[in-house]
């Protein structure tokens, strides 16, 4: 399977999406205020990064409509951003900018998104499940 970062366009989008080499500290503090070990924090970061990467690979590979719909709904700005493992949380934990990824997905997979939103949206300003 090809890594999405191998194309120049994807590498540029990923570079735009990365906030900094350091990870977001707010993602490392549980609600109860207890501090996690570095190993636990690294596991969460790897898990969240893998969730976002897998979602992008699912869009690229387009194997089933149900999986595509699930990914688009998960990435949607209207999705529950407070839920554990939400797209917003995973992006923050992995040091990614969700808006940059949504923009990349909306541009790169416009035809796929149109397939799920219907032709009535194509003539408008392209409202998608991602915006």
User: Helix or strand or coil: residue 60?
Assistant: helix
At residue 78, the pLDDT reads 84
For 21, phi then psi, to 5°, come to -65, -25
- Pair 36, 93: CB distance under 8 Å: no
48-107, pLDDT tens digit by residue? 999 999 999 999 998 888 999 899 989 988 888 778 889 999 999 999 999 999 999 999
State the Cα–Cα distance between residues 11 and 98, nearest whole angstrom: 16
Domain layout of the chain by residue ranges: 36-131
Verdict on whether the full-model pTM lies above 0.85: no
User: If you write DSSP's letter for every residue of 12-52 in order, what string do you get?
Assistant: HHHHHHB--SSPPGGGGS-TT-PPPPHHHHHHHHHHHHHHH
């Amino acid at each position: 399977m090809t890594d999405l970062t191998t194309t120049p366009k994807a590498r540029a989008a990923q570079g735009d999406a990365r906030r900094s080499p350091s990870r977001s500290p707010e993602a490392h503090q549980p609600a109860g205020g207890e501090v996690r070990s570095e190993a636990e924090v690294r596991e969460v970061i790897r898990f969240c990064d893998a969730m976002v990467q897998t979602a992008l690979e699912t869009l690229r590979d387009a194997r089933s409509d149900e999986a595509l719909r699930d990914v688009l709904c998960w990435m949607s700005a209207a999705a529950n951003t407070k839920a554990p493992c939400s797209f917003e949380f995973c992006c923050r934990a992995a040091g990614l900018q969700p808006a940059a990824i949504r923009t990349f997905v909306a541009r790169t997979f416009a035809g796929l998104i149109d397939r799920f939103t219907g032709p009535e949206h194509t003539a408008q300003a392209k409202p998608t499940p991602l915006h």
